[in-house]
């Protein structure tokens, strides 16, 4: 099976001056929809980590009040990531793990009644262990420096044939190609109010 995913997280700026930008799940979904992409499942996040060309250790900030939700810390985190990558000799365009937690799509919104929430997962250490299990208890207006938006193209190749990831996620027999959760997730509602939109 083949997937096409962005090697880094959604950023604003240009190659010489940019910042990885955390955002809420509703804004993230609007962007991925407009680009013909989706957000990853936790399973996809793990597979991306498996093929990473390098790794940096996570760089957490202590939670002091609501400080970690401020743009100042978003930029501090971005600077720390860039410094750690530079110290390892990594360059932009490489798959490097340990940068962020992913905003993810998950069946838990529907199955466990977490409407109006955001799913986050990942932040792998160099030894492959991830810091963040799939977590859905933050409401969908919560954003902090550790969240990242990864683009996954809607087209996947399965046994040599192109398929829409929506079809895979809806299929009771195929969804486990992209998810290790208990049920297909395409009929779930992402982030509460807004159903996934695969039609743009």
**Confidence label for 187 from pLDDT (cuts 50, 70 and 90):** low
Q: pLDDT > 90: what percent of the chain?
A: 74
pLDDT of residue 101: 97
Using CA atoms, how far residue 196 sits from 40, 42, 191, in Å, is 13, 17, 9
Q: Is the pLDDT of residue 200 over 50?
A: no
Which tens digit of pLDDT belongs to each residue from 82-122? 999 999 999 888 999 999 999 999 888 777 777 788 999 99
Distance CA 20, CA 78 (A): 6
pLDDT of residue 192: 42
Please list, in sequence order, all residues whose beta carbon lies within 8 angstroms of the beta carbon of residue 30, skipping any fewer than 6 positions away: none
pLDDT of residue 112: 75
| Tally of CA atoms within 13 A in the half-sphere of 198 that contains its CB | 18
Distance CA 199, CA 164 (A): 11
pLDDT of residue 186: 56
Pairing of strands 152-153, 37-38: antiparallel
Both tokens assigned to 102: 């992913």
Prediction pTM value: 0.91
Which tens digit of pLDDT belongs to each residue from 122-181? 999 999 999 999 999 999 999 999 999 999 999 999 999 999 998 899 899 999 999 999
Whether 148 contacts 10, CB under 8 Å? yes
Average pLDDT over all residues of the chain: 89
């Amino acid at each position: 099976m083949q997937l096409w995913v962005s090697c880094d997280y959604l950023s604003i700026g240009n190659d010489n001056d940019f910042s990885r930008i955390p955002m809420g799940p509703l804004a993230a979904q609007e962007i991925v929809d407009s680009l013909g992409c989706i957000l990853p499942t936790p399973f996809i996040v793990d597979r991306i980590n498996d093929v990473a060309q390098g790794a940096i250790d996570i760089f957490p900030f202590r939670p002091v009040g609501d400080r970690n939700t401020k743009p100042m810390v978003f930029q501090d985190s971005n600077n720390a990531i860039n410094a750690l990558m530079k110290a390892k000799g990594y360059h932009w365009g490489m798959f490097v793990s340990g940068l962020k937690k992913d905003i993810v799509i998950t069946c838990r919104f529907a199955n466990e009644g977490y409407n109006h929430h955001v799913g986050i997962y990942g932040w792998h250490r160099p030894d492959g262990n991830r810091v963040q299990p799939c977590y859905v208890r933050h409401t969908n207006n919560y954003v902090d420096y550790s969240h990242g938006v990864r683009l996954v193209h809607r087209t996947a190749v399965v046994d040599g044939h192109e398929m829409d990831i929506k079809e895979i996620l809806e299929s009771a027999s195929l969804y486990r190609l992209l998810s290790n959760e208990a049920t297909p997730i395409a009929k779930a509602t992402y982030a509460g109010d807004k159903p996934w939109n695969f039609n743009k």
